[in-house]
Structure 1
Amino acid sequence: MKNSVLSIIFLLLTLTTLGQDKSKTLLTIDGEKITIEDFKRVYEKNLDAIDNEESKDVTKNLELFINYKLKVKEAYQIKLDTLPSYKREIETYRNQLSAPYLQDTTFIEDLVKELYVRTKNEVKAKHILVRIPKDATPKDTLIAYQKITDIRNRIINGEDFEEVAFVASEDNSAKDDPKSGRKGNKGNLGYFSAFDMVSEFEDSAYKTKVGEVSEPFRTQFGYHILKVDAKRPSLGEIQVAHILVSDTTAIGKKKIDELYAKLQNNGNFEELVKQYSDDGNTKQSGGKLRKFRKGKMLKPIEDAGFSLKNVGEYAVPVKTRFGWHIIKLVGKYPVKPFNELKNELTNKIKRSSRMQLSEIAVINKLKATYSIKENEEAKKILDRKNIRAIPKDSLQNVILKINDKELTQESFINFIRNRRHKPVYLLFDMFKNDEILSYYKENLVNTEPEYAYTLKEYEDGLLLFELMQQKIWNASSKDTLGLKNYFEANRNKYPSKELKNNKGEVMNDYQNFLEKNWIADLRKKSKINIKKRELKKLIKFYEKK
């Protein structure tokens, strides 16, 4: 019984009372108008799920529709929509349903195309960083910006970028490390491509011409400038296998040369890996390493791998800090065509911070549409050091207004109470953006019909499930006497004369019996008026199809 009712619930989940004003009324229930459009939306959506002509009967489907409406009406009357569990479930679903509306699909599509172009091309750049504290004030930010601007001016006026980076950059990798003996990279980052850097850095690198120094730009780390040294088409990825001899002494060199000689005398690479390689992680896979592209592997291995033209070829031994290697080319993987890479790029965007750019694009569009007013007098609390300790009764002035929605200082303090990682003025911008999106989400039912329909379907369906749980399923399972009496009255319907031998079937029939009586009671309590003329027109309409 429970499963069959669930099927009916989801079959009728397309129910909505949000019909168009111009639609004619098909019926009324206690004065509530239900339009032809309401019924047609349900009926036509369910036609594909109906596998026989009898079940497609318009009149029968209208009766099911009425029963559904009566049940949902009952659920609202006994206030099932006020249950905490219901509210939580609806809020979760509302967030899921609204998520696509909070992204700018055109923006994302354009971004995917742009990132594909970047995937096909690599940039070689160097940079200088001036860090900004996480809790920086506007004054701190201005000081950092002025510092990076002065550094850029030194380079524009003729000083060598790398020498300035070595002295002035706050990226520790630019300087020598006396403890480890590591040489500083003087800001050099080598070649990189899409998704290798934070988005702001990547954007600046691809937009700056070869040989030029960028304007200062900000990332989560601070202010940067960069100089682009070269750009080239991507070489794609390769996969190599290796034989490793970890001994870096002359003995190790002798051993790797002997293995190389064996290969030249038609030795089997995979067998030599199993017998002699010191890389335990790759022994069983023929020495295979993960795929990589330029700049993503130890340079000697990378250079050896990319120097090989044909799959199956191997290079002369090379040395890294891990030992001696013989590199064999296993596969070449050029950048895939756009259509093959599109979904992968889209998913990468969704998992990255770039998705916030899409949300920002939506917010900017909303800002241009909405009337947004900030109360500068009320905003003076942002200058108070003890802002989070201000008494509640002193926080009742409106600080922000979005169309007709007013937000008090208290709303802002609640927003920032546990957010202490950023300056208050930045938190206000976050608060404003958050409230703009909240206002948009709250009004989606008025601006997006499909969203409104779908949300209403889910709300009513969830209420009906809870109602059936209370009225039928739980009631029947607890009413052992009622079940027994029903069995005694209908004993001839069942093959066994013992209830325990027919309990599943009897329980299903008893639940149907209870539901039938319950619906009859609901119909008695309600005034249902079907517009027969409109129903006849509707029947003829579907007979012609």
Structure 2
Amino acid sequence: MKIRILSICTLLISISVFSQKKSKTLVTIDGDKTTVAEFKRVYEKNLDAIDNEEAKDVTKNLELFINYKLKVKQAYQLKLDTLPSYKREIETYKNQLAAPYLQDTTFIDKMVKDIYFRTKNKVKAKHILIRTARDARPKDTLEAYNKIVKIRNRIVAGEDFEKVAEETSEDNSARDNEKNGRKGNKGNLGYFDAFKMVAPFEDAAYNTKVGQVSKPFRTQFGYHIVKVDDLKPSEGEIEAAHILILDTTNVGKKKIFEVYDKLIINNNFEELAKQYSEDRGSKNRGGKLGKFGTGRMVKPFEDAAFSLQNEGSFSKPFKTRFGWHIVKLIKKHPIKSFNELEKELRKKIKNSARMQMSETAVINKLKKTYKIVENESAKKILDKKNIRAIPKDSLQETLFSINNKKIKQEAFIDYIRNRRHKPVFTLFDMFKNQEILTYYKKNLVNTEPEYAYTLKEYEDGLLLFELMQEKIWNKSSKDTLGLKNYFEKNKANYNSKKLEDNKGEIMNDYQNYLEEKWIADLRKNSRIKIRKRELKKLIKHYNKK
């Protein structure tokens, strides 16, 4: 019922928040003016969806419009907008409605194109990492940064990247591990494409030219430098199946070649996989592994799978650290066109940490637009060790201001009281960014007309739902005597002479009766003035169409 009412509200009314000086007044209700432009916006909004000519009648639509405004006006008089349930629902809707405005669409559009390029092309890179704690203080951060700069200078001066990585990188995979016998990768990461690395790392790799070393950059792990060795088109994804013998010795080798010989004779890969494969996860499916791209499998397996040219062909036996394999190519999935992939890429971006970058882009724009002034004297509390224990009466200084809005120290202390996972100076930046966004969201009604219109529609529609519940639906269901009297007076209109036989239909008619009576009372107690000259112009305008 609520959805139905809100839909009706959207059809009937969209109250303008912005004055339209050039538009003349069409109707005045108790001194509140509605302009021609406001009514036209409402009327035209759903005009194309109406195929009934009578329903398109301008005069009738104006009468419905007036009825709606009278109801909403009474809802405000009854202070239904102060109900806690109403306030909660409006706050939830505001957040949903504001969400698109908190994203930089230009930034996202560029990101989608960048991600498509990175999907079509894979990069081969190696890196060196100097770790920093997530809550590192500026002094520690600077120390790590200076360390990575010195390492980069050594490589730029001519030292071998892999040698330096093995010696200095704090990514343990760069060095040999004697305990488990693992060979170090000397910083080599192999090929990767979009979404395989954290966003800042991916950005740095794709923005560095082949053969060059990037400038130091930071991720959640610390400071890195990257050297790019190659950039080439991606093979896309493939579907493959395999037969696995877990024994890595010559015994396993002999067994896999016996299976291979049988495969050459009968070419029944699926049956042989079910019979001989020791991969419990895939053997019952005939060895099928599903769809995968580069970087998902160990390198010898990936090389063997992607080297197969024809669908249905299979490899000779080969060895990985897991055992001996034979792999079969089932199907190739080349990279789709941008138009085919755009929707999917946007969804992936939306569900990734990259959306935070879009919000950051919005905040950075707002910082340039707003006048933001920090009070250095008030900021001295950030240096106090017992900052969360400072009494409230000592926290009344303005910490910073956004245009004309002042944010006191007390608000910041409330923000950090249960946030102890980050240093205070980091929390201050987070708090400031939050306040900037809050200020922006609260002012959307003044800066974004479409947001203001849509919000007002929803607010008034929700109020009307509460009012209809009170005045019509609850009243009709509780007033059994009134319903009975209505039926007795209108019995001739119904086939059956018993109320119980037609209760649904009669209840609906009774509700319509109550609503008509209610609207008549509202109109009787209101001063309504329609400017007939403007109405005639409107009718003439739409008759021409």
- TM-score, structure 2 as length reference: 0.95
Q: How does 1:208-219 map to 2 (within 5 A)?
A: 208-219=208-219
Matched, 1:47 2:47: yes
Query: Aligned pair in 2 of structure 1 residues 5, 108: CA closer, same or farther (>3 Å)?
Result: closer
| Aligned position for 1:71 | 71
Counterpart amino acid of 2:531?
A: K
Q: Secondary structure at the match of 2:418?
A: coil
Consecutive unaligned residues in structure 1, runs of 5 or more: none
Partner of 1:380: 380
Partner of 2:528: 528
In structure 2, do the counterparts of structure 1 residues 211 and 538 end up closer, same or farther at CA, with 3 Å as the change threshold? closer
Instruction: Report what 1:427 is aligned to.
Output: 427
Q: In the alignment, which residue of structure 2 is the partner of 1:173?
A: 173
Give the whole-Å Cα distance in 1 for the aligned partners of 2:45 and 2:295.
Answer: 54
Question: Cα distance 1:89–1:3, how it changes in 2: closer, same or farther (>3 A)?
Answer: closer
Residue in structure 1 matched with residue 204 of structure 2 by the alignment: 204
Closer, same or farther: CA 27–403 of 1 in aligned 2, 3 Å: same
Q: Structure 2: which amino acid aligns with 1:471? A: K
1:516 paired residue number: 516
Deviation string 1:76-129 (CA, Å, 9 cap, x unpaired) is 111111111111111111111111111111111111112222222222222121
Distance in 2 (CA, whole Å) between partners of 1:171 and 1:286 is 39
- The answer as to whether partners of 2:6 and 2:462 remain within 8 angstroms in 1 is no
Q: Which residue of 1 aligns with 2:107?
A: 107
Q: What is the distance in 2 between the residues matched to 1:467 and 1:287?
A: 64
Q: Partner letter of residue 367 of structure 2?
A: K
Change (3 A) 1:2 1:517: farther
Counterpart for residue 408 of structure 1: 408
Please state whether the residue corresponding to 2:210 is helix, strand or coil: coil
Q: Are positions 1:448 and 2:448 aligned together? A: yes
Distance 2:13 2:130 in 1: 57
How many angstroms apart in 2 are the aligned matches of 1:476 and 1:534? 39
CA distance change for structure 1 residues 313 and 393 in 2, over 3 Å: closer, same or farther? same
How many Å separate the matches in 1 of 2:273 and 2:479? 73
Any conservation in 1 of the 2:318–2:326 contact (CA below 8 Å)? yes
The verdict on how the C-alpha distance between 1:7 and 1:315 changes in structure 2, with shifts beyond 3 A counting, is closer
For 1:290 and 1:7, locate their aligned partners in 2 and report how far apart those are by CA, in whole Å. Answer: 45
Q: 8 Å contact 1:175–1:184 — kept in the other structure?
A: yes
In structure 2, what is the equivalent of residue 331 of structure 1? Answer: 331
Deviation at residue 15 of structure 1 after TM alignment: 4.4
Q: CA deviation at 1:178?
A: 3.3
CA RMSD of aligned residues (A): 2.0
The answer for the alignment partner of 2:494 in structure 1 is: 494
Q: Secondary structure at the match of 1:319?
A: strand
SS of equivalent residue, structure 1 residue 291: strand
- AA at the equivalent of 1:453: Y
Change (3 A) 1:7 1:342: closer
Q: Distance in 2 between matches of 1:223 and 1:472?
A: 66
Shift of 1:156: 3.2
**Matched residue of 1:385: which SS?**
coil
Q: Distance in 2 between matches of 1:458 and 1:8?
A: 11
Tell me whether 245-254 or 176-185 shows the greater mean CA deviation.
245-254
Name the SS for the 1:331 alignment partner. Answer: strand
Question: Conserved in 1, the CA contact under 8 Å of 2:2 and 2:465?
Answer: no
Aligned residues of 2:13 and 2:65 also touching (Cα < 8 A): no
What's the counterpart of residue 189 of structure 2? Answer: 189
CA shift digits 1:196-236 (9 cap, x unpaired)? 11111112112223333222111111111222222222222
Listed as ranges, the gaps of 5+ residues in structure 2 are none
Letter in 1 for 2:123: V
Contact 2:246 2:278 in 1 (8 A): yes
Change (3 A) 1:129 1:519: same
Structure 1 distance, partners of 2:85, 2:310, is 63
In the alignment, which residue of structure 1 is the partner of 2:301? 301
Asked whether the 8 Å contact 1:16–1:457 carries over to 2, the reply is no
Alignment of 1:229-240 (within 5 A): 229-240=229-240
* Equivalent position of 1:8 in the other structure: 8
- Tell me which residue corresponds to 2:475: 475
Residue identity in the other structure for 1:242: H
| Partner Cα distance (2:183, 2:225) in 1 | 21
1:44: Cα distance to partner? 1.3
CA 1:508–1:273 in structure 2 vs 1: closer, same or farther (change >3 Å)? same
Task: Give distance in 2, aligned partners of 1:429 and 1:4.
Answer: 44
In 1, Cα distance between equivalents of 2:108 and 2:66: 43
Q: Is the 8 A contact 1:476 1:507 kept in 2?
A: yes
Q: Are 1:347 and 2:343 matched, yes or no?
A: no
Deviating runs (4+, > 6 A) in structure 1?
1-4
Moved more, 203-212 or 28-37: 203-212
- What code does the residue aligned with 1:341 have? L
The question of whether the paired residues in 1 share the 8 Å contact of 2:6 and 2:458 is answered with no
1:320 aligns with 2:330: no
- Map Cα deviations across residues 224-282 of structure 1 (whole Å, 9 max, x no partner): 12222222222222221112233444443333222211222243222222333233332
Distance 1:349 1:2 in 2: 34
Structure 1 Cα separation of the partners of residues 522 and 223 of structure 2: 69
Q: State the Cα deviation string for residues 423-449 of structure 1 (Å, max 9, x = none).
A: 222222222222122111111111111
C-alpha change, 1:363 and 1:488, in structure 2 (3 Å) is: same
* CA distance, structure 1, for counterparts of residue 175 and residue 9 of structure 2: 67
CA distance in 2, matches of 1:294, 1:6: 50
Q: Which moved more, 1:509-518 or 1:126-135?
A: 126-135
Residue matched to 1:542? 542
**Paired letter, 2:145:** Y
User: 1:344 aligns to what SS in structure 2?
Assistant: helix
- Deviation digits for residues 341-362 of structure 1 (CA, Å, limit 9, x no counterpart): 2122222211112112211222
Cα deviation code 1:36-81 (max 9, x no counterpart): 1111111111322323222221111111110000000011111111
Distance of 1:303 and 1:17 partners within structure 2: 63
Assess if the C-alpha contact under 8 Å between 2:240 and 2:329 holds in 1: yes
Mapping for residues 24-63 of structure 1, pairs under 5 Å:
24-63=24-63
Distance 1:223 1:538, change over 3 A: same
Which residue matches 1:389?
A: 389
Name the aligned partner's letter for residue 97 of structure 1: L
Q: Distance in 2 between matches of 1:536 and 1:358?
A: 49
> Which range is displaced more, 426-435 or 152-161?
152-161
Partner of 1:163: 163
Task: Assess, with a 3 A threshold, how the Cα gap between structure 1 residues 6 and 358 changes in structure 2: closer, same or farther.
Answer: closer
Task: Tell me if the contact between 2:444 and 2:452 (Cα under 8 Å) persists in the aligned partners.
Answer: yes
Instruction: Tell me which amino acid in the other structure corresponds to 1:492.
Output: A
The answer as to whether partners of 1:472 and 1:514 remain within 8 angstroms in 2 is yes
> Deviation at 1:529?
0.8
CA distance in 2, matches of 1:17, 1:247: 75
Cα deviations by residue, 1:444-464 (Å, 9 ceiling, x for unpaired): 111111111111111111110
- 8 Å Cα contact 1:14-1:45 kept in structure 2: no
Output the amino acid matched with 2:540.
K
Q: Tell me the secondary structure at the aligned position of residue 426 of structure 1.
A: helix
Partners of 2:2 and 2:155 in 1: how far apart? Answer: 76
Q: How does 1:134-153 map to 2 (within 5 A)?
A: 134-153=134-153
Alpha-carbon distance, 1:333 to partner:
2.0
Structure 1 residue 503, shift from structure 2 partner: 1.0
User: How far apart are the structure 2 equivalents of 1:24 and 1:361?
Assistant: 41
1:169-192: CA deviation from partner (whole Å, max 9, x where unpaired)? 222222333332222222221111
Farther off after superposition, 253-262 or 212-221: 253-262
Corresponding letter in the other structure for 1:428: F
- Identity within the alignment, %: 72
Correspondences of 1:90-105 after superposition (within 5 Å): 90-105=90-105
